Amino acid sequence: MFRSLISRVIFATISLLAGGIFIYATYNVRHQQSMLIESARESTELLLHTVESSIYNTMHLGNVQDVGSILAMVGHHDQLVGVRIFHPHGVILRSSIPSEVGRTVNAGDFQLSMSPKSYGMFNLPPHGEILSMIKPIYNEAACHPCHGSKARVIGILNVNYSMNRTKLLMMDASRIFVLSSVAITAFLSIMITLILLKFVKKPLDSVVDTMSKVEQGDFNVKIDYKGKDEIGRLIASFNSMVERLHTAKIELEQLHFQQLERADRLASIGEMAAGIAHEIKNPLAGIAAAVSIIRDEMSRDDPRGSILDEVLQQVTRLDKTVNDLLFFGKPSLPELTCVDINGVITTTLKFASQHRGGVSIVQRLDLEKNLPPVYADDKQMQQVFLNLFLNAFQAMPGGGTLSVQTSRSFHEGREFVRVEIADSGPGIPQQILEKIFTPFFTTKAQGTGLGLPICYKLVKMHNGDIRVSSDSSTGTLFTVELPACHLGNDVSEVTI
């Protein structure tokens, strides 16, 4: 039940409301009870003063016998339990109940007379809870003829007021207040629940239902909500989001269709290029052989020899382009074995250093010892690293630093060997960096745009990863990761 947000909000709101009303009701009931008790005390005090005045007037006139009559008359009040005058030692001298004259006053009244308080409440069987009030009768000059002048207090006037009626009034008032509080709480709870259900739960349910339709691929949905509150703004944002998703979906579908058409065209062009490359390769070999024979028959001083050398150089470049094209179109499957990657890097770097661009390059090797071998084709890995080394040399025509570092890495519980090849060249612009693995994309006048795409394809065929980062201040960094080869491990499948 309380897994729903609306249920939790309703429960919390009603709980706070009920708690607040309960506290308010408790305070008011207690305040009303204290007011009723105070009203009873004031009535008793007024009656006490009235009796006191009557007794003083009667005693001043010398009609001592009339005191009992006054007490008996006052005692007929339906809320009075008794009116009496008792001696400071506790003996009842006069009373509205003649039978208790001469007896000892009850313990509650006697203890009250001994305390500094003028009133108190206690149970007096069988009358229940009573309010008792006392008033000392002082020995004035008019009293000396009968009571002498030694005693300061000649008696204590005592009135016992029954609290039964006051308690009934208190119970009735409390009952009415509690019932009204419960009714108000129930009414407000129902109204709050209806308001939350209408203005919060219903719009949120609409959002949830519409989101379910969007998850199923239906973007032609919209929530109608007229409010301008927070939920209205939320629904407006949701409608806007769905509309943008619908537009993006249409654009993606169009782009996907265009990419499929382009892929079909590229596949056709690739097949045609592979066929053309096969047709070109044999004539190129014949041309190269014929030019070589003609060049060998010429003397070294023949000025036509430089022209033939240039022809041979261009034929060699065309042959490499054809070979790259054939390899990219249909690469040969790697012959996977456990290979020492440090050895492959060292051998390849020595061969690449013979290139004229590597003469002025400072080489820094940081090859980690005890690296596990990698599961790879060493010749294809030499092709990858040779291409990366030569690219680094070409990026630093005026000299620079080539750094090569090997280390271990782990991804998803598998161990890899990482090779980092960094140059200190000017770096690659960001708009070019995103396209360097794209086939036939090149910024070199003599390039074919297939070198890095072939490297990318070879690394992916080894279930590895190749990535690049570049900065104008630090140069370019190529990172190659290849799966480590452990005895007893399953051989990974080659993907093309």
Residue range 25-41, pLDDT digits in tens: 888 878 877 888 888 78
Top pLDDT among 353 and 371 is at: 371
135 or 421: which carries more pLDDT confidence? 421
Top pLDDT among 227 and 458 is at: 458
Q: Which of 45-59, 64-78, 140-154 has the lowest mean pLDDT?
A: 64-78
Q: What pLDDT does residue 99 have?
A: 82
In angstroms, the CA 350 to CA 389 distance is 10
What is the crossing angle of helices 5-60 and 164-196, to 10°? 160
Rounded distance, CA 233 to CA 445, Å? 57
Class of residue 96 by CB neighbours under 10 A (exposed 0-12, middle 13-18, buried 19+): buried
Position 403 scores a pLDDT of 93
Q: What's the CA gap between 183 and 191, in Å, rounded?
A: 12
- Please give the Cα distance from 447 to 452 (Å, whole number): 11
Residue limits of CATH 3.30.450.20 in the chain = 5-170
Distances (CA, A) of 85 to 28, 99, 131, 387: 38, 13, 16, 125
Q: Are 40 and 193 in contact (CB under 8 A)?
A: no
User: For all residues of the chain together, what is the average pLDDT?
Assistant: 79
Q: What is the mean pLDDT of residues 439-462?
A: 76
Report pLDDT digits (tens) over 200-238: 888 888 888 888 888 787 877 888 777 777 777 888 888
Give the residue with greater pLDDT, 403 vs 116.
403
Confidence of residue 391 (pLDDT cuts 50, 70, 90): confident
How confident is the model over 66-71, as a mean pLDDT?
67
CATH, domain range 337-483: 3.30.565.10
Highest mean pLDDT among 186-190, 198-202, 222-226, 405-409 belongs to 405-409
Q: What's the pLDDT band for 59 if we cut at 50, 70, 90?
A: low
Q: Which amino acid is at 179?
A: L
Q: Is residue 155 predicted with pLDDT exceeding 60?
A: yes
Confidence of residue 494 (pLDDT cuts 50, 70, 90): very low
Q: At 380, phi and psi to the nearest 5?
A: -70, -35
Region 440-465 average pLDDT: 78
CATH number of 5-170: 3.30.450.20
Mean pLDDT value across residues 169-193 = 84
- pLDDT tens per residue, range 254-301: 888 887 776 666 666 666 666 666 667 667 777 777 778 887 777 777
**pLDDT over 90, % of the chain:** 10
Domain with CATH 3.30.565.10 in the chain: 337-483
- pLDDT for 293-330, tens place per residue? 887 777 777 777 777 777 777 777 677 666 666 665 55
- The residues facing 416 across adjacent strands are 409, 483
Percent of the chain with pLDDT over 70: 81
Section 470-493 average pLDDT: 77
Contact 49, 58 (CB under 8 A): no
Question: Can you give the pLDDT at residue 489?
Answer: 46
